[in-house]
Amino acid sequence: MLTKEQIAKRIAKEVKDGFYVNLGIGIPTLVANYVRTDISVEFQSENGVLGMGPFPFEGEEDADIINAGKQTITTLPGASFFDSAFSFGMIRSQKVDLTILGAMEVAENGDIANWKIPGKMVKGMGGAMDLVASAENIIVAMMHVNKAGESKILKRCTLPLTGVGCVKKVVTELAVLEITPSGFKLLERAPGVTVEEIVKATEANLIIEGFIPEMDIS
Amino acid sequence: MIVKKVNSVAEALAGIQDGMTIMLGGFGLCGIPENAIAELVRLNVTQLTCISNNAGVDDFGLGLLLQKRQIKKMISSYVGENAEFERQMLSGELEVELTPQGTLAEKCRAAQAGIPAFYTPAGYGTEVAEGKEVKEFNGKMHILEHAYKADYSIVKAWKGDEAGNLIFKGTARNFNAPMAGAAKITIAEVEELVPAGTLDPNEIHIPGIMVQRIFQGETFEKRIEQRTVRPKNS
């Protein structure tokens, strides 16, 4: 079973040379720590920055330079700032190559729910609805089951949707799943986790073809 | 030159009344017009509809107006950091319209640009699309969204000049740029107000035509919501 850092490590392998990447809050933010250093990648934050760098050194933080999680950040050479309308313009027009975000539920038709639990939690969708409606390549980083032990990989989402038919890939502590026209296809399993254990933790049907390799999280 | 400079926040906010719709720039606490918000608290105008990406935190930003029950309705994309907000929303005291962030930005920009409505794919198939016109373009479904209509827009910039020209810093540009000129009257609060001719016209982010009143804020706390740092020796 993977740690959150290992999930981020595995997703980092999906980040290719020349990609502009938007990272959501939570596990997705960690992905930046594990991207190969020999490729050129720029991170976009929807509040208006391209070319995000690491957190600032103590004492060098600037209230005017933050990411979408409201954390203080730095910028790298080649960075730029822009306004929120422009930011979502580049997202809608698909200039951003890869979007990585968290979810409460993902369904086998590619639907995603991550912004509201009726009667319990209403924080708002932020930029998630815009991102999932427009991005061509969406990877979800999430835990396979919730705290009550229930699967978050479902035949149909039960929570209010964030977007429909948009998720392409899901990486959890147990598995890498691809969403195909016929549903979830099991691509890889976490080291030491069996296919049976993944099937047991998954409410949706899984397409399992041939040998399922272990994830590379080196 | 047409002079937009006013001498105080009180002069800048003249005319704001109960029941008005006000846009306020900022993302989280980054780039919020904090002097104008303090003045709104002092004026005690109530029944406001506020269009702002976030609702502040309990004791800063729009949280200060929420504490005094000055807001009737919030139009935002994310309201997660404010316990008082949550309480008022769940009890029904506060009306809330949650809008996808890019749609919120574009509804401001459309108002600024004189476009009454636009189609966007954001929110299609979700509860955001309920009751809205849907149309297919290039094989993809979109929903019709309308430009905001606001009485006042209050934005915050880094530098401004007497002519109302604005320059932003870092990610504090956020909603401040698309909200400038998106309401009947735009008020700009700046950290540094300089004489016309001081700022390079090539560097202006928002031209003064979008701004009716500009003033220099007295103090700026510029509170950081999530201070994240790494040790110097790493």
CATH of the domain at A161: 3.40.1080.10
Residue A214: inside a domain, yes or no? Answer: no
Indicate the range of A163-177, B7-21, B72-86, B152-166 predicted with least confidence: B72-86
CA–CA min distance B196, chain A (Å):
24
Question: Confidence band (pLDDT; 50, 70, 90) for B152?
Answer: very high
Taking the Cβ of residue B132 and every Cβ of chain A, the question of whether any pair is shorter than 8 Å is answered with no
Rounded mean pLDDT, B26-34 = 98
Interface of A with B in 110-129 (CB under 8 A): 111, 122-129
B152 within 8 A of B211, measured Cβ to Cβ: no
Per-residue pLDDT tens over the stretch A194-206: 999 999 999 999 9
Q: Which residues 90-109 of chain B have a CB within 8 Å of chain A?
A: 96, 98, 100-106, 108-109
**Helix pair angle (A84-92, B101-113), 10° resolution:** 110
Amino acid at B228: T
Q: Is A163 an 8 Å CB contact of chain B?
A: yes
| A216 part of a folded domain | no
Joined together, the tokens standing for residue B169 give 């810093």
What pLDDT does residue B234 have? 57
pLDDT in tens, A115-172: 999 888 788 999 999 999 999 999 999 999 998 999 999 999 999 999 999 999 999 9
- Taking only the tens place, the pLDDT of each residue in B154-193 is 999 999 999 999 999 999 999 999 999 999 999 999 999 9
Q: Does any CB of chain B come closer than 8 Å to the CB of residue A48?
A: yes
Tell me what the mean pLDDT of segment A87-112 comes to.
97
Global ipTM: 0.97
Decide if B126 and A69 are in contact by the 8 Å CB cutoff.
Answer: no
* pLDDT bucket at A218, cuts 50 / 70 / 90: confident
Which chain B residues have a beta carbon less than 8 Å from that of A124?
Answer: 76-80, 98
The stretches of chain A forming alpha helices (DSSP H) are: 4-12, 27-30, 84-92, 128-134, 195-200
Is the pLDDT at B53 greater than 80? The verdict is yes
Query: Does some domain include residue A140?
Result: yes
Q: What domains, with CATH codes, occur in chain B?
A: 9-117+149-216 (3.40.1080.10)
Q: Per DSSP, what are the bridge partners of residue A206? A: A184
Q: What is the pLDDT of residue B81?
A: 76
Q: How confident is the model at residue A209 (pLDDT cuts 50, 70, 90)?
A: very high
pLDDT exceeds 60 at position B75: yes
- By the CB < 8 Å criterion, does A46 face chain B? yes
In angstroms, the separation between the Cα of residue B54 and the nearest Cα of chain A is 9
A46 is catalytic: yes
Task: Report the pLDDT averaged over residues B110-119.
Answer: 98
Give the minimum alpha-carbon distance from B29 to chain A in angstroms, rounded to a whole number.
8
Domain membership of residue A60 (yes or no) is: yes
Catalytic residue among A46, A105, A108, A188: A46
Q: Which domain holds residue A149?
A: 4-207
Lowest mean pLDDT among A101-115, A153-167, B75-89: B75-89
Count of structural domains within chain A? 1
Name the closest residue on chain B to residue A49, using Cα atoms.
Answer: B171
Share above pLDDT 70 across residues of chain A, in percent, rounded to a whole number: 100
Computed over every residue of chain A, the mean pLDDT equals 96
Integer CA distances (angstroms), A1 to A7, A206, B46, B214, in order:
10, 18, 53, 57
**Cβ-defined contact of B108 to A85 (cutoff 8 Å):** yes
